[in-house]
Structure 1
Amino acid sequence: MAVRRLVACAVAVTVGFGFASAGIASTAVAEQGTDRGETQRIIDGFVADGVPGAMVYAGNESGTWTVRSGTAKLGTERPIRPSDRVRVGSNTKMFVAAVVLQLVDEGKLRLDAPIEEYLPGLVQGNGYDGNKITLRQLLQHTSGMGNYTDDTLYDPEAQQREWQPEELVRIGLSYPPSFDPGTKWEYSNTGYILLGMAVEAVSGKEIGAQITDRLLRPYGLTQSNYPESGDKKIRGPHARGYDAFPGRGVEDMTEQLEPSVAGAAGALISTGPDLIRFVEALLDGEVVSPELLAQMRDTVPATDFRYGLGLQEFALSCGGSAWGHSGGIPGYFTFTTVTDDGRTAFLVANGRRADGTRVPSLEAADSALCAQQ
């Protein structure tokens, strides 16, 4: 059976499943005295709505604090901790974008070069022309590329097999373009698979090795790793991740997801402290040149946020904005945010609500960031 038909069925039924509330008391740990009650109320609501567990890790230059609710593992009372490793999904895109921009700084890639220049003949047919789609458009989701994860990410069969990037791109190309390149915005994971392939084409190293060598090691992100194809384990302390599929009910997805199905679009494993450390370094100008950081922060309207080059901008209810990225992947939803004045917030939820929807992560992050003003 074709992958597309499988996943259409899977997604249609998955939204009808949820998670039994863990029934674990909420906890708050704070190294600062400010009341975090609103943030606690929000994540308690996530658990009441069926999410197994949730945590917000936040802070500023004065210190950090944590609120959490539910459990890191069903059947136990162990809460999610800041040091727990989880799959962070599309937070990976910030790292891919940083590698691409470093290669631009080095003269090995050009932002406004067509993808055809680096991957000749790959993006052609079904209305696509790789000569008209630039790296900038792929980074910013303005390419019009079809989204391969509509077919794969929540399909139980597709989750289990190893994938080559070219295969994922072909799935994306099987959808006609959503619009002419550069004319609109629409999220496409296929674009980031292509960017990972372009990085390898000019450097001779796979994107995971580039992320490790250029970002994880130099910035001391010791609790993060980009798993190789075939490595489904999360090593070290971690929160379990849960999801639901037709005929299977609630499943522990922690070691079931084949990382190559996410690839450069979302394979990274990390923690809240590591992600915050990276975004802080990025915004402080330590990762890419000032000129390219300014372009990274040059955003276009998206949905309830604005999107730059691998970086999301979120308006805050208390004024100003936060920068970072969200990440949804079977088992986990994560959200990393940092403001220019040094406030930080990281959210993780290890499952969906009972109605099959993801948690309203911006509400929790907004609460945590605005509580620090």
Structure 2
Amino acid sequence: MRYAALACAVLLLGTAQPAHARTRPDVQTVMERLADTPGVLGAIAEMYADGKRIGRGSAGSRLLDGRGGKIPAGARYRIGSQTKGMTATVALQLVKEGRLGLDDKLSAVLPVVAEEDLVERADEITVRQLIRHTSGVPEWFRGGLVDVFDTTTYYRPADLMKVSRSQPRAQEPGEKFSYSSANYTLLTMIIERVTGRSLAAEFDRRLFRPLGMTKTYLPVRPPEGIKGPHGHGYTPGPDGELHDMDRLNASWGHGAGGVISTARDMAAYRAAFIQGRLLPADLQKVITAPPEGAPAPPPLPCGGKLVQTNGGAAGFTSATISTLDGRRHFAVSTTLDAAQDLTVIKAITQAGADLLCAQSG
């Protein structure tokens, strides 16, 4: 399914080639170019250096057919699978605190999955494997398993794991990389059991408030939308008509892809993560080291001097592109008026390379 395939891109860098050092377009110019990409309806972005905004832009329109004016450049947007990095960070903070172990077995830290037969071979799967997508737990985020157009049904994490359980395993536990949002549904359940608080509360306590991410939140109840003026994304339905995807089902996003944020807040988060202010180096590598058996990344922008995280689902694609020292960040959101594909990710990667390569050292 197109939105499940896009989610896999979160662990890969883009395919753009290095920009020439002499090319220094501004953010607005780059957004106008991005908005011309087939399938893109609206595009917003901001660029930050050492915590200060150094550029912003908005192009395209907030609604279909040029209606609604431009999206405010500082508007909130869905970050999609960029949420997974936050969920993994909180889980690893619990490891640092001695409340969770990387080699703890899933059945031990989350007994319900064995008691209710929600996960096959739960006594073999580890926390490390969940974080690194090597558990082999089947994906639930596929067409025919969840209805992306159903914005009202509330799914508990356990309900999503029942959907996952209905599918065949992808591999042996720990054997290789196999991307699955179910890993992060399980990490959500683990965090909530260990802390006794909701994941949204833990995000607020550990990430959003300490980092000054004042406009970021995790909705979990449908059909909660995005607060404040923002862009609307659309995707074709079974009838071939475009459907407004403004109110995606928050209950199946959750720790796998539910956070709503802004460019400023995402720049603050990525700076803190890359600069080691959220995790010690050994635990940070659990997230950043290439997973076993993951496909080799394509050629990297700027000779590998940038790192990119992506997220997307029906109606939107977002990304944050940063220099390796965590000092400069380009955070971008696109809303769509066509079926999702990797063309938009490639265009976003090129936009980040155009803006950051000449300044990446």
* TM-score of the two chains, using structure 1 as the length reference: 0.80
Q: In structure 1, which of residues 181, 192, 195 is the aligned counterpart of residue 187 of structure 2?
A: 195
Return the offset for 1:130.
0.7
Distance 1:271 1:291 in 2: 29
Q: Quick one: structure 1 residues 126 and 267, their matched pair in 2 at CA, closer, same or farther if it must change by over 3 Å?
A: closer
Q: Quick one: structure 1 residues 366 and 145, their matched pair in 2 at CA, closer, same or farther if it must change by over 3 Å?
A: farther
* Amino acid corresponding to residue 36 of structure 2 in structure 1: V
Correspondence list, 1:167-178, <5 A: 167-178=159-170
1:239 paired with 2:231, answer yes
* Amino acid corresponding to residue 340 of structure 1 in structure 2: L
* Amino acid corresponding to residue 368 of structure 1 in structure 2: L
| Structure 2 alignment gaps of length 5 or more | 4-21
Question: What does residue 345 of structure 1 align with?
Answer: 330
CA contact (8 A) 1:138 1:191 kept: yes
Distance 1:356 1:340 in 2: 29
Count of aligned positions: 334
Distance 1:38 1:84 in 2: 16
1:69 paired with 2:31, answer no
Distance 1:153 1:344 in 2: 36
Q: In structure 2, which of residues 37, 41, 51 is the aligned counterpart of residue 52 of structure 1?
A: 41
CA contact (8 A) 1:43 1:55 kept: no
Q: Quick one: structure 1 residues 317 and 324, their matched pair in 2 at CA, closer, same or farther if it must change by over 3 Å?
A: closer
Q: In structure 1, which of residues 314, 320, 328 is the aligned counterpart of residue 304 of structure 2?
A: 320
Question: What does residue 268 of structure 2 align with?
Answer: 277
Question: What does residue 145 of structure 1 align with?
Answer: 137
RMSD after superposition: 2.9
1:265 paired with 2:247, answer no
Correspondence list, 1:194-213, <5 A: 194-213=186-205
* Amino acid corresponding to residue 269 of structure 1 in structure 2: I
* TM-score of the two chains, using structure 2 as the length reference: 0.83
Return the offset for 1:266.
0.7
Match of 1:334, SS state, is: strand
* Amino acid corresponding to residue 203 of structure 2 in structure 1: I
* Amino acid corresponding to residue 202 of structure 1 in structure 2: V
1:370 paired with 2:357, answer yes
Match of 2:142, SS state, is: helix
Distance 1:194 1:77 in 2: 39
- After superposition, the C-alpha distances for 1:99-157 in whole angstroms (9 at most, x for unaligned) are 10111111111111111111125158699201111111111111111110014787245
Question: What does residue 92 of structure 1 align with?
Answer: 83
| Structure 1 alignment gaps of length 5 or more | 1-7, 13-32, 306-313
Q: Quick one: structure 1 residues 114 and 323, their matched pair in 2 at CA, closer, same or farther if it must change by over 3 Å?
A: farther
Return the offset for 1:53.
1.2
Q: Quick one: structure 1 residues 291 and 273, their matched pair in 2 at CA, closer, same or farther if it must change by over 3 Å?
A: same
Return the offset for 1:215.
0.9
Q: With CA pairs under 8 Å and 6+ residues apart, which has the higher RCO, 1 or 2?
A: 2
Distance 2:123 2:306 in 1: 34
CA contact (8 A) 1:225 1:268 kept: yes
- After superposition, the C-alpha distances for 1:237-268 in whole angstroms (9 at most, x for unaligned) are 3222222211261122113x220021111111
Return the offset for 1:362.
2.6
1:161 paired with 2:158, answer no
Greater shift, 195-204 or 236-245, is seen at 236-245
Distance 1:304 1:120 in 2: 35
User: What percentage of aligned pairs have identical amino acids?
Assistant: 31
Return the offset for 1:174.
1.3
CA contact (8 A) 2:220 2:254 kept: no
Q: Quick one: structure 1 residues 183 and 260, their matched pair in 2 at CA, closer, same or farther if it must change by over 3 Å?
A: same
CA contact (8 A) 1:83 1:271 kept: yes
Match of 1:260, SS state, is: helix
